[in-house]
Structure 1
Amino acid sequence: MDLGLWQSMKKAAYAFFMKPVFLLTYLLFCASVSAIQVDPVNGHDANDGVSAPVKTIARGVKLAQPGDTVHLTQATYHESVVLAAKRGLPGKPVTVDGHGSVIEGSEPVQAVDWESLGDGLFRKVKLMPHMDPAILGRWFFLWNGRMNHMGRTSKGPSLPLKKVADLLPDEWTYVQEEDAFYVKLPAGQGLDAANLRYPLRSSGVALSGNGAHLVVRNLTCTHVYNDGFNIHGDQVDTVFENIAAIDCGDDGFSAHEAAECRVDGFVSMGNSTGLCDTVSSVTHFENVFISGCLGYDIFFIGDSPHSMENVLVESSAAYPLSVAQHVDRPQKGLSRVTLKNVLIRRAPGKAGDVKITRNSLLVAENCTFEGLNMTVTPGGEMNLTKSVVKGRGAKPDVLIFDEAVWKGSGNRYDLKSLRKGPDFFTEKSFAAFQNKVSSEADSKWTEGAAAEPGIGADETGLERLRAPK
């Protein structure tokens, strides 16, 4: 669905149903279908959630049984949605409907809790109950609502932490020996006036244990130090609809272990990684918009299948798309990713690769890769159909190692270079490349690789996925 339209419809519906006469009717209807109401202002956790709302999401989730829906009053919540070993039944899921609510992971930095060292320098010992390298690698402060990573990110290139003496105004660092954070402000500015926040919560939505038949919808997670949506454990039939992860320290969405997830309607903006699914998780994404990420835009790593359909990526992360296996653990099967109607458009002047590595397979149909190099390493395989690989400014390079497999048909290329093993090919010698890979029937290497009906992604249709600024 067009996200802008969805937002407008959501606001209109909310205004309509919040009118007193309709609110009463709505609540009576909800009670008849086992609806549990959460209201952080007017609720109380001693209530049953049906005849009167509870105050916290945690209480609502605890009360929910198979077939129940936990309805969040539209608000900003300073708690995570934790579904630990929660189980619905086939056809009777446990549902959490955010109705446009926001899970806020951060809390304000307050001067009363920090030590002033003079000259705009402040220190806080033991800001978090436990600080380890994994958390520190994801860390940020919010400066007037903007993330300040200090050039660091969890899965991408990162600068070393600065020494305290080297801090400039509006910078921070951490000293492990003291378990202390330092922030530097312009001279004369008070800490309370600086409007700083720090990420207290790990993830916005967290699933763990042996869960089954769960639905999470209409919810935005932001400013957590780990993942917006963090899925662990042996999850069966988990569904996410119209969700968003904005400015999170690690992944917008991340499935682990043997989690099974279907996602329809996902916006991932400003995160370290747009999405990262790993181990033996099985995921399918539809209607996705990704932009402004730092480490990876899309990262699949493990031994199981994943798919994406109808996806627009405004790529600026260090690594746009990677399909790989873990090198430090036994793998059960092929890391297989299927893309259909996916447009990955690289930011101008910023190099980046689509990379397929050992025991990994990327199958792409009706996709457009704009401004992206492609690398298939030994043991990797690329299967490309009716797709476009072209430049955005500079033309891309395609490198296929001799021990890698490349299959294609009906594609359009406009490349700087094309190499298979030791052999280089040009537009004029493209027929020799087709012969070498024993495929690429009906494919062409043409200047500009202009759009043709039925070839490449539906760029006009995918623009509807773009989140409003």
Structure 2
Amino acid sequence: MNRILFALLLAVAGTEARDIRVGLDKDAPTIAQAIKASLPGDVIHLEPKVYHDYAGFYGKKGEPAKPITLDGHGATLEGSDPLDPATWTEVSPGLFKNDALLPRLDDAVIGRWFFLWNGQMNHMGRTSKGRAAPLKKPEDLQPGEWTFVKDPSREKPPSLQIYGAFYIRLPAGQKLADAIIRAPVRSAGVQMGGDNAHLVIKNLTATHPYNDGFNIHGDCRDVVFENIRAIECGDDGISAHESAQYRVDGFVSMGNSTGITDTGTAQTSYNRVFLANNIGFDLFFLDEGRYTLTNALVLSSAQNALTITGRTNGDCCMKMENVLIRRLAKPRLGNVTTRAVLEAKNCTFEGMDVKVAGSATWNNCLVNDKPLPEGSKATGADVSGLLKLMPQDFKP
């Protein structure tokens, strides 16, 4: 009997939640090892510092009421590293070449690429979702510019992997070792793939990956993000794919290609959101997903402020409540396209028009200081496929 009782006590003790401190606990020297070792109810703690690392969750599951938690405590996951002068060759005065900067490249990576030059993102007029200037020839580069040149002879179809070389131009006489240049060598800050469930990620900033700050793929369930930030990421601040389901409470997205982009059949909700200084899109919701945005402020200077669009067989459905979008640039336009449904409540759109080719329902909403009729509904069918909401159309 005593042996049985002792075994039961050991079993209970083995299920107690643990605090796992990355870099301080001997069995968790890295974020990846801490995540791998974590069990339902455990809390992984980061220190409030910069980590040149990312957090990957691949088929990781807590349990209902016993999530696995990653608490950043204000930590930053930095996606870039300084250039290593030893890996670059000076091919002509001031022009440097590297044909092995990343182990694997494809067109999507190049479309998102940037260098950090003296702490400033240099996209060369390119963005992953939006207008993109053509890449320059190496000989045409000016000091402070970069380009990429493909080498098709090394490609092996049907693989999408590409090969080639990056080039950067420095001012005459400057040594690469003296230049302050960083490259985005990590794809994301937080990344999920496969089936993940019962997770909490909080108090964390992702910055300078070449892809998303928070890149969520797969079939995640009961995943919560709290007080997170995505700053200057090559693609999306946060992005849901496939059938991902998660909730975000407290999100800042600034300086990214897009603020938020969700696709597939994802089901997401965002509360307490601030977006600013994004490039291609601020809010971009696609496909057959079900999305909610509440208590949000968007200072919109991206090429596109708001786009909701269904691309496949089902409708893309978006609910917005207590959202202010202040458009700071042209074109002053938001789009609810065909196969898209918007329900807006207590929303304000300043300095922009809204085109609706799908369906939109408005409750206590303002467009350019003019109220929309209570409970009004607009569909593309009402106006030959396109309704443009202009200030003069509304009566106070």
What TM bracket, shorter-length normalisation?
A: 0.7 to 0.9
Cα deviations across residues 182-238 of structure 1 (Å, max 9, x unaligned)?
A: 001111111121110000000110011111101000000000000000111010110
Q: Aligned to 1:238, what secondary structure does the other structure show?
A: strand
Which of 33, 36, 39 is equivalent to 2:20? 36
Tell me the residue number matched to 1:210.
Answer: 195
Indicate whether 1:389 and 2:367 are aligned.
Answer: yes
Contact 1:119 1:187 in 2 (8 A): yes
Alignment of 1:269-418 (within 5 A): 269-326=254-311, 330-331=312-313, 333-347=314-328, 349-377=329-357, 380-390=358-368, 408-409=373-374
User: Partners of 1:275 and 1:232 in 2: how far apart?
Assistant: 14
> What RMSD, in angstroms, separates the aligned Cα atoms of the two structures?
2.2
Which of 252, 257, 273 is equivalent to 2:237? 252
Once the 2 structures are TM-superposed, how far is the Cα of residue 408 of structure 1 from its aligned partner?
4.6
Once the 2 structures are TM-superposed, how far is the Cα of residue 78 of structure 1 from its aligned partner?
1.2
Q: Which residue identity does 1:360 align to in structure 2? A: A
Q: Aligned to 2:286, what secondary structure does the other structure show?
A: strand
Tell me the residue number matched to 1:268.
Answer: 253
Tell me the residue number matched to 1:128.
Answer: 102
Contact 1:280 1:303 in 2 (8 A): yes
User: Partners of 2:264 and 2:113 in 1: how far apart?
Assistant: 24
Tell me the residue number matched to 1:415.
Answer: none
Which of 177, 191, 211 is equivalent to 1:226? 211
Once the 2 structures are TM-superposed, how far is the Cα of residue 334 of structure 1 from its aligned partner?
2.0
Q: Aligned to 1:369, what secondary structure does the other structure show?
A: strand
Q: Which residue identity does 2:22 align to in structure 1? A: V
Q: Aligned to 1:112, what secondary structure does the other structure show?
A: helix
Distance 1:161 1:64, change over 3 A: same
Q: TM-score, normalised by structure 2?
A: 0.87
Q: Aligned to 2:39, what secondary structure does the other structure show?
A: coil
Once the 2 structures are TM-superposed, how far is the Cα of residue 106 of structure 1 from its aligned partner?
0.4
Distance 1:425 1:141, change over 3 A: closer
User: Partners of 1:427 and 1:278 in 2: how far apart?
Assistant: 31
Tell me the residue number matched to 1:83.
Answer: 57
Contact 1:387 1:410 in 2 (8 A): no
Q: Which residue identity does 1:60 align to in structure 2? A: A
The unaligned stretches of length 5 or more in structure 1 are 1-30, 49-53, 396-406, 412-418, 431-443, 447-469
User: Partners of 2:270 and 2:343 in 1: how far apart?
Assistant: 15
Q: Aligned to 1:135, what secondary structure does the other structure show?
A: helix
Alignment of 1:160-239 (within 5 A): 160-177=134-151, 179-239=164-224
How many residue pairs get matched? 364
User: Partners of 1:109 and 1:158 in 2: how far apart?
Assistant: 25
Structure 1 ranges of 4+ moved more than 3 A: 419-428
Q: Aligned to 1:61, what secondary structure does the other structure show?
A: helix
The unaligned stretches of length 5 or more in structure 2 are 1-14, 152-162, 377-381
Distance 1:163 1:153, change over 3 A: same
Cα deviations across residues 49-106 of structure 1 (Å, max 9, x unaligned)?
A: xxxxx22001111111001110112221111100101001110001100000000000
Contact 1:383 1:408 in 2 (8 A): no
- % identical equivalent positions: 47
User: Partners of 2:383 and 2:179 in 1: how far apart?
Assistant: 55
Tell me the residue number matched to 2:43.
Answer: 69
Q: Aligned to 1:409, what secondary structure does the other structure show?
A: coil
User: Partners of 2:76 and 2:89 in 1: how far apart?
Assistant: 32
Contact 2:353 2:390 in 1 (8 A): no
User: Partners of 1:235 and 1:210 in 2: how far apart?
Assistant: 5
Tell me the residue number matched to 1:455.
Answer: none
Cα deviations across residues 28-59 of structure 1 (Å, max 9, x unaligned)?
A: xxx974111112xxx36xx24xxxxx220011
Q: Aligned to 2:271, what secondary structure does the other structure show?
A: strand
Once the 2 structures are TM-superposed, how far is the Cα of residue 119 of structure 1 from its aligned partner?
2.5
Distance 1:97 1:280, change over 3 A: same
Q: Which residue identity does 1:224 align to in structure 2? A: P
Distance 1:59 1:157, change over 3 A: same
Which of 445, 459, 464 is equivalent to 2:395? 445
Q: Aligned to 2:242, what secondary structure does the other structure show?
A: coil
Q: Which residue identity does 2:140 align to in structure 1? A: D
Contact 1:172 1:182 in 2 (8 A): yes
Once the 2 structures are TM-superposed, how far is the Cα of residue 241 of structure 1 from its aligned partner?
0.1
Contact 1:297 1:319 in 2 (8 A): yes
